[in-house]
Amino acid sequence: MTVSKKVVLRFDAKIVDQPIMYSLIKDYGLIPNILKAEINPHKQGYLVLELSGENQKYAEGMEYLNSLGISVDALDEKVVWLEDRCMQCGVCTGLCPTQALSMNRPSMEVSFDGEKCIVCEMCLKSCPAKAVELRF
Amino acid sequence: MSVTKTYEEINEKIKKGKVVVVTAEEVIDIAAKEGIKKAAAKVDVVTTGTFGPMCSSGAFLNFGHSKPKIKMQKVWLNGIPAYGGIAAVDAYIGATEVAEDDPCNKVHPGSFSYGGGHVIEDLVAGKPIQLETTAYGTDCYPRRKLETTITIDDLNNALLFNPRNAYQNYNVGINTTKKTIYTYMGVLKPNMCNANYSSAGQLSPLMNDPYYRTIGIGTRIFLAGGTGYVAWHGTQHSPSEERTEKGVPTGGAGTLAVMGDLKQMNSGFLRGVSILGYGASLAVGVGIPIPILNEEILEFTTVRDEEIFAPVVDYGTSYPNAEPGNLGLVSYAQLKSGKITINGKEVKTAPISSYPKARQIAETLKQWILNGKFYLTQPAQLLPSVEDDIKIKPLVIK
């Protein structure tokens, strides 16, 4: 059995210099797909990632993270597409990395699939009509 | 015998409810099935549409006189400066204007969340707008300052006047550099990761009348949900661009200056927009009816996305430096498919203009004509075309 979750790792300034990703991959066989990261020397930081792997190993990986004092939270930010505000241009679809925002062809209408969204926020910044919102 | 019709004949048909109107999409199939001659005999009007950010837009407003009177030398609407350097209590609010304290691109890329385009959208939506104005005093206009709230209903006149709209064709923006750039063509990722375009292609007004045989000064049009008029050829109108065999330019070319009563418009077709790292603007919906005066005009309206080409321009290098050249031409059929190939690389494409809105505009205009609510006007004068040999000059710094 494998598991795949979108999580937010928050860590203290003290452990920023540790190769956490390396350990997750090498020691626990987990596959991290980093979606967003804010890591700076001597500062607390966070990582948003999709983490997948075998069930048992995943649990062990979580224990390892906890042992370092890293908090692991489910990613619960959500992008909401405001269909009424959307002016149906489709410029977001060129930037959305997962095709959560996509164009139906040949109608060229924009649609949004929240399941595919990884909350990278590209659409949030680039939507000219401000038709995308972030909700927690 | 070849088909010829006059504006009067078409208007008579509208009056009698016998007019045949189709959109620029629908006419393609009709002509393919029935041939140009039969289609020209059958169809009286082809409607077109386009909707996208058109920065050269704005509105003349007249606020009426306060007691005592003020000249309104400086004017702000919701904090956005409007131009007051015309007669007392008139002002022009431009689409791309931003507040004096807007951080703009100081923290790059700026968000430009509220600008002149948004003021116009809010006005049209009937929202209250904060008016602030100052002036030097005169004997006839003694007041120096006032602050109040207005809505569009309080204004004596609200005239949308856009000096450059409805570009005939446009560049496809791409970025060959190694870092992301923020342009009026949207966010362009490095190494040609994406390309943006902005045209309704086969539905776009000037694509369907490429030599401006019917569209001219005084042409009545759909403008942002109301009726408007073509006032003049637009600024930078450049008919002498390269064209395909069918006459469609392979670059910007023609533009229109359009005007209309803001009070008739609706915010579904007039939207303030914020372009990341670039600025504020206004998305405008324009729809133009093309009278089928003869077979040639009908044939022009049958143009398809496969036959319309746009230049792919590098907004990372050549565009900002005003260097000529492009990375090749691509058709709107390719652009609309979601990917194009440039220098052997597959590049994702996305539009900045809205095709569904363009279609909705062409369809709305069609219904207006069918229902006898909209009559065609013969232009007082046609726009300059290829034979006028207009050259757009660069600015030479002396």
Contacts by B249-253 with C-beta closer than 8 Å and gap 24+? B249/B168, B249/B169, B249/B210, B250/B169, B250/B309, B250/B310, B250/B311, B250/B329, B251/B169, B251/B171, B251/B310, B251/B311, B252/B167, B252/B168, B252/B169, B252/B170, B252/B171, B253/B167, B253/B168, B253/B169, B253/B206
Contacts of B348 in chain A (CB under 8 A): 94
Q: How many domains would you assign to chain B?
A: 2
List pLDDT tens digits, range B362-383: 999 999 999 999 999 999 999 9
Do B63 and B184 belong together in one domain?
A: no
Which pLDDT band holds residue A136 (cuts at 50, 70, 90)?
A: low
Do A85 and A97 belong together in one domain?
A: yes
Residue in B215, B269, B282, B232 with CA at minimum distance from that of residue B80: B282
Radius of gyration (C-alpha) of chain B in whole angstroms: 22
Whether cis (ω within 30° of 0) applies to the bond prior to B205 is no
Strands B270-275 and B256-261: unpaired
List pLDDT tens digits, range A26-70: 999 999 999 888 888 888 888 888 899 999 999 999 999 999 889
Do A134 and B390 touch, CB atoms closer than 8 A?
A: no
Of A91, A103, A130, the CB nearest to B352: A91
Arithmetic mean of pLDDT, B45-56: 98
B132 beta partners: B76, B147
Query: What is the predicted pLDDT for the residue at B197?
Result: 98
List pLDDT tens digits, range B301-318: 999 999 999 999 999 999
Q: What percent of chain B has pLDDT above 70?
A: 100
Examine residue B398 and state whether it is found in any structural domain, yes or no.
no
Interface pTM, i.e. ipTM: 0.93
Do A29 and A62 belong together in one domain?
A: yes
Arithmetic mean of pLDDT, B233-243: 97
List pLDDT tens digits, range B323-355: 999 999 999 999 999 999 999 999 999 999 999
Please identify, among A74, A94, A111, the residue that sits at the C-terminal boundary of a domain.
A74
Do A63 and A50 belong together in one domain?
A: yes
Q: Determine the 3-state secondary structure of B133 from DSSP.
A: strand
The torsion angles phi and psi of A33, rounded to 5 degrees, stand at: -120, 105
Q: Is B140 a catalytic residue?
A: yes
Closest residue of A to B190, CA-based? A95
What are the DSSP calls for A65-120, one per residue? HHHTT-EEEE---EEEE-TTT--S--GGGGT-TTSSEEEETTTTEEEE-GGG----
- The CATH number given to whatever domain includes residue A30 is 3.30.70.260
Q: Which structural domain, as residue segments, surrounds residue A23? A: 2-74
Residue from B197, B274, B312, B360 to probe the interface with A (highest A Cβ count within 10 Å): B274
Please identify, among A41, A74, A107, the residue that sits at the C-terminal boundary of a domain.
A74
Do A116 and A65 belong together in one domain?
A: no
The torsion angles phi and psi of A39, rounded to 5 degrees, stand at: -130, 125
Contacts of B96 in chain A (CB under 8 A): none
Cα of A90 to nearest chain B Cα, Å: 6
Do B127 and B208 belong together in one domain?
A: no
List pLDDT tens digits, range B260-289: 999 999 999 999 999 999 999 999 999 999
Do B12 and B70 belong together in one domain?
A: no
Examine residue B359 and state whether it is found in any structural domain, yes or no.
yes
Cα of B13 to nearest chain A Cα, Å: 32
Q: Which structural domain, as residue segments, surrounds residue B274? A: 7-54+165-376
Do B114 and B31 belong together in one domain?
A: no
Is pLDDT above 90 for A16? no
- The CATH number given to whatever domain includes residue A108 is 3.30.70.20
List pLDDT tens digits, range B159-188: 999 999 999 999 999 999 999 999 999 999
Residues B264, B224: Cα–Cα separation, whole Å = 8
Of A89, A105, A122, the CB nearest to B352: A89
Q: How many domains would you assign to chain A?
A: 2
